[in-house]
Amino acid sequence: MAVLLASFQAITWKTLVMYAIGGVLIYLAIKKDYEPMLLLPIGFGAILANIPFSSAIEENGFLTILYNAGIHTELFPILIFIAIGAMIDFGPLLQQPFMLFFGAAAQFGIFVTTLLARSLGFTLKEAVSIGIIGAADGPTSIYVANLFAGDLIGPISVAAYSYMSLVPLIQPPVIKALTTPEERKITMDLNLHPVSKTTRILFPIIVTLVAGSIAPKSVALVGSLMFGNLIRECGVLDKLSKAAQNELSNLVTLLLGITIGSTMVAEKFLTWKTIMILGMGLFAFIFDTAGGVLFAKLLNLFLPRKVNPMIGAAGISAFPMSARVIQKMAQKENPGNFVLMQAVGANVAGQVGSILAAGVLIYLVSSLGLS
Amino acid sequence: MTDSIVTTLRILLQSLGVTFFGMIIIYSAIKLLVKYFPEDNPEDQ
Please give the pLDDT value at position B45: 52
Interface of B with A (CB under 8 A): 1, 3, 5, 7-9, 11-12, 14-16, 18-23, 25-27, 29-31, 33-34, 37-40, 44-45
Phi, then psi, of B17 in degrees rounded to 5? -65, -45
pLDDT tens for chain B, residues 1 to 45: 567 888 888 999 999 899 889 999 999 999 999 999 887 766 555
- Chain B residue with minimal CA distance to A127? B8
* Interface pTM, i.e. ipTM: 0.87
Contact between residue A245 and residue A86 where contact means Cβ atoms under 8 Å apart: yes
Low-confidence ranges of chain A (pLDDT < 70): 1, 371
Q: Quote the pLDDT of residue A62.
A: 95
Asked if B12 lies within 8 A of A114 by C-beta distance, the reply is: yes
Closest to A311 in 3D by CA, of A99, A140, A130:
A99
Average pLDDT, chain A: 90
pLDDT, position A18: 93
| Phi and psi based region of residue A99 (left: phi greater than 0; alpha: psi -120 to 50; beta: remaining) | alpha
Answer whether A165's CB lies under 8 Å from A171's CB: no
- C-alpha–C-alpha distance, residues A33 and A321, integer Å: 13
Beta-carbon count within 10 A of B21 CB: 14
Q: Give A236's DSSP letter.
A: S
Nearest to A308 by CA among A285, A333, A283: A333
pLDDT of residue A129: 94
Q: What is the pLDDT of residue A124?
A: 92
Of A84, A49, A47, A77, nearest to A63 (Cα)?
A: A49
| Angstrom distance (rounded) from CA A116 to CA A272 | 15
Which residues, at least 6 apart from A87, have a Cβ–Cβ distance to it below 8 Å? A228, A232, A245, A249
- Tell me the DSSP string of A49-111: HHSTT-GGGSTT-HHHHHIIIIITTSHHHHHHHHHHHHH---HHHHH-GGGHHHHHHTTHHHH
| Separation between Cα atoms, residue B18 and residue B11, nearest integer Å | 10
- For residue A320, cis peptide bond before it (omega within 30 degrees of 0): yes
A2-41 burial, b at 16+ Cβ within 10 Å, e below that, comes to eeeeeeeeeeeeebeebbebbeebbebbeeeebbbebbbb
Tell me the torsion sign for CA atoms A258, A39, A217, A278.
negative
Q: Which of B7, B15, B38 sits opposite A124 (nearest CB)?
A: B7
Give CA–CA dist A223/A153, Å, rounded: 23
Global pTM? 0.87
Contact A105, A315 (CB under 8 A): yes
Q: Which residues of A touch B (CB under 8 A)?
A: 93-94, 97-98, 100-101, 103-104, 107, 111, 114-115, 118-119, 123-124, 127, 193-199, 202-203, 206-207, 210-211, 214-215, 349, 352-353, 356-357, 360-361, 364-365, 368-370
Predicted local confidence at residue A150, as pLDDT: 87
Instruction: Identify the pLDDT of residue B2.
Output: 65
